[in-house]
Structure 1
């Protein structure tokens, strides 16, 4: 992927000495526009999906009270990029690209390296493609089996899988009455016509349970520990689909499947890669910005590798006699900043909900002269964050809870559905910047008839749109201060407020009505003691392991446990 992070090139494979007619020129122009429309819509589509798939609890929100949601939030993983990556990314990309170029020149047969790289890239993209397919199946499930929907009478319905009932609710999701068994159809709206009789409804309930239930996957390896994960039927289906896609692509090299593998790698990258803050994201993009210009305009490496290799490290579209190529890096590099912008919107949304409650407390401070701890009583303000409500997986509910045949959105919705309707100002601004950058890339492609470094136009478009939006809205401070390094994820913090009610200084963390500002030093001492305890414990474990070896022990185990029907709904209610 690094080797092709900046190329958009359209090739014309038609060789004709005769002058084309005006009609032929018109057809060529139309085919070119349709071709580039596929490229742009495909790139923006996967960025849109990947950005929403990367959403997680922002540090401005409190941990969810819901057990299952809290567990999923704890399991969320993201690799934050650091400032050093701004240097490493261009260097690594250059090494890969130059290495591939000279390998092609040395082998003199691209078929050999295509087979090797196709095998490697296909295998490496399997996990990302599995995740992409699984999330897609879950989105489709939310359309067919939503938790909430509106009936023909305009009233809101809520499904309870555990009881296999459907209840009529008010707009906030509070239950008003339960429908009788004959009307307890798990399919919403017009889809209910497919289950007119009781036995078909029973089949629909069984299918809903299959598609929404979580299984507990557990694996144990002696010496490495035990790992558990929650999986759905969608993950099992996605695994099969990913394997079939990889096998068929490897056997046929079908461009459509190559693009699917590319989309999968982009989607997976959005879930695990993220700039820690705006400064880091900007430096990474500007580093690849200059690398992209140099490799496309001043060396033969980029164009040669892109047009020679037939592996899923690019998106390829063909129409008539034209072929258009877009490197995956032109999607992933700007896309991860766009995903960060969407999480910035979510952070700002919850940041504005933070309240400050007046609290009488004791503050422990260290005297500057004697170094002794001094306790004093004072009234301060405690930071109170709103509990997080998961914003993902509500695509179907957002459509089915609309009024007037899905054209009018209700102002009052259940919290689980309304959570996804937060303002997305910076996300949409960055998407517009990306779109304008792509348009400029295509214009330069038509003018100069030469492959263009797309990041030359995409980087200023994305970063410029974010900066301009923050300046217009007067939120440059928020744009600059938002970080995903964990420093903003605070709990029960006591602060000083200014005259406008905004926090200006953090005093410390509140515990049992006491704020101990000397706790950092105590924490270091406790960490040292904990390290010593861990060393002693490891010695004891090694001794016990030697004794257990004489008695026999479990070496490896793998299990898949299915919970009782409706267990997910019960966990959600708790």
Structure 2
């Protein structure tokens, strides 16, 4: 089940991360605690889970094509939950799932034993970031601005201010420590002529947070675009199914006029029903109730003024159509700004020879691009009010 970061959680994140970072620094600097063994075991488990998640769909597709058997097992109550937060009591096991776990454990073990292989490290780190983006989301752009703004201050303080306050660059000391060797960073071979603050460390690095955290904002921008896209495929499919059903109910002696009237009425009703569900989803994302009028001109599918959020949440969310592949201006602006901010961070690092807090360049670039995109499309207010609405639960089956 996808966990959403709220406004309050965004406010607390920099504090929690600061305590964790400084705690790691104190353990590395002033204790004999075997932090490396503990973190290696933790990162091994994290990498195994991430690789399993990436490998399972592919191996399952291959296994199904080869006719793999399926074993149904009973799951103890409360042990597993599905995407809707409901308990799972029966599960299906396939040989491909066991193969995915074995592959993941093998790759994670190889990565743990060969820390110098930056290519493998980067692959595992990217899979971990992908898994995090699937499990986490940001509820609104308000929460995103607070979260990323707070983490920008966190990043800047522990890179630039900590040498004055603590007497050491805490962020750099932890990031380049031999104890922290898991998939928490992307490594790149250092250009020989470019120096650095840690001459013995052979790589330039980018923290995984500098990928995953802006990724949360980009994912929210994509979900905003999805809420604004027009799902013509869902509307057309609903209309076609309604026409087919309506014609099937007519007797064999129905006239052409009767068939035309029945098809038109069914198509209008079905088309408007999908359009109204999209409209209610948009209204919920803006913090309001459901629409009081039909979002399309004709038909009898208008939503009543008495429909509330509770009723809308009992509907099945309308699938996103292929229109989102082209109707995503907010997401495009966020991604272009992320690349620009990252290039600025690399340029500053190369020019100064000092470690740079990447969020110092990425956050203003992305937030500025979203504000500009909203202004140009006259959607800044709507963007600011947007709330990512969780998937609606399907209507319960009729008992009639």
> How would you bin the TM-score normalised by the shorter chain?
0.5 to 0.7
CA contact (8 A) 1:349 1:422 kept: no
Q: Give the superposition deviation at 1:318.
A: 1.7
Cα 1:465–1:218 change in 2 (3 A) is: farther
Assess, with a 3 A threshold, how the Cα gap between structure 1 residues 338 and 230 changes in structure 2: closer, same or farther. farther
Indicate how the Cα distance of structure 1 residues 231 and 363 shifts in structure 2: closer, same or farther if over 3 A, else same: same
Pair 290,216 (structure 1): closer, same or farther in 2 beyond 3 Å = farther
Return the offset for 1:219.
3.5
Preserved CA contact (<8 Å) 2:231 2:320: no
**SS of corresponding position for 2:188:** strand
Q: Secondary structure of 1:460's partner? A: helix
Give the SS at the match of 1:125. helix
Task: Give the alignment's Cα RMSD to 1 decimal.
Answer: 3.6
Residue matched to 2:203: 323
Task: Check if 1:434 corresponds to 2:296.
Answer: no
Provide the residue aligned with 2:266 in structure 1. none
For 1:388, which of 275, 294, 318 is the aligned residue? 318
Instruction: Report the CA distance shift for 1:344/1:230 in structure 2 as closer, same or farther (over 3 A).
Output: farther
Matched residue of 2:7: which SS?
coil
Residue equivalent to 2:227: 347
Secondary structure of the residue aligned to 1:298 is helix
Shift of 1:217: 5.3
> Is the counterpart of residue 483 in structure 1 residue 340 in structure 2?
no
> Larger C-alpha radius of gyration, 1 or 2?
1
Which residue is equivalent to 2:170? 301
What is the Cα deviation at residue 481 of structure 1? 3.3
- Counterpart of 1:84 in 2: which secondary structure? helix
Alignment CA distance shift 1:490-1:465 (3 Å): farther
Contact persistence 1:122–1:261 (CA under 8 A): no
Residue 276 of structure 1 corresponds to which residue in structure 2?
Answer: 139
Q: Identify the residue that residue 153 of structure 2 maps to in structure 1.
A: 290
TM-score by length of 2: 0.66
Which has the higher mean CA deviation after the structures are superposed, 225-234 or 82-91? 225-234
How far residue 434 of structure 1 moved from its aligned partner, in angstroms, is 0.2
What residue in structure 1 maps to residue 106 of structure 2?
244
- List gaps (5 residues or longer) in structure 1: 1-76, 146-205, 366-381, 392-417, 493-574
1:472 has 2:341 as partner? no
Indicate the residue corresponding to 2:124 in structure 1. Answer: 261
- Aligned residue in 2 for 1:86: 10
1:106 CA drift (Å): 1.7
Q: 1:481 to 1:320 in 2, by over 3 A?
A: closer
What's 1:561 paired with? Answer: none
Indicate the structure whose relative CO is greater, using CA pairs within 8 Å and at least 6 residues apart: 1
- Number of positions where the alignment pairs a residue of Structure 1 with one of Structure 2: 303
CA, structure 1 residues 210+318, in 2 after alignment: closer, same or farther (shift >3 Å)? farther
Cα 1:207/1:125, change in 2 over 3 Å: closer
Q: Determine the C-alpha separation between the residues in 2 that align with 1:320 and 1:364.
A: 65
Q: 1:312 aligns with which of 183, 187, 193?
A: 183
Distance 1:390 1:209 in 2: 31
- 1:427/1:232 CA distance change after superposition, 3 Å: farther
- The CA deviation at 1:351 is 7.6
5+ long unaligned stretches in structure 2: 80-86, 163-168, 193-201, 236-274, 277-293, 396-400
Alignment match of 2:54 (pick from 116, 132, 140): 132
1:102 matched to 2:32? The reply is no
- Are the equivalent residues in 2 in contact too, given 1:114–1:311 (CA < 8 A)? no
Aligned partners of 1:276, 1:235: CA distance in 2, in Å?
32
Q: Separation in 1 of the partners of 2:303 and 2:343?
A: 59
Task: State the 1:108 CA deviation.
Answer: 6.2
- Comparing 308-317 with 352-361, greater Cα deviation is found at 352-361
1:320 Cα deviation after fit: 6.0
Q: Aligned to 1:115, which of 37, 50, 56?
A: 37
- For the 8 Å contact 1:218–1:226, the answer to whether it is kept is no
SS of equivalent residue, structure 1 residue 423: coil
Q: Which position in structure 1 is the counterpart of 2:75?
A: 220
Quote how far apart the aligned CAs of 1:337 are: 0.9
- Once the two structures are TM-superposed, the CA of residue 448 in structure 1 deviates from its matched residue by 1.6
Q: Does 1:450 align with 2:354?
A: yes
- State TM-score, norm by structure 1: 0.47
In the alignment, the residues of structure 2 paired with residue 426 and residue 222 of structure 1 have an alpha-carbon distance, to the nearest angstrom, of: 42
Q: CA deviation at 1:246?
A: 1.5
Shift of 1:471: 1.2
Q: 1:463 to 1:245 in 2, by over 3 A?
A: same
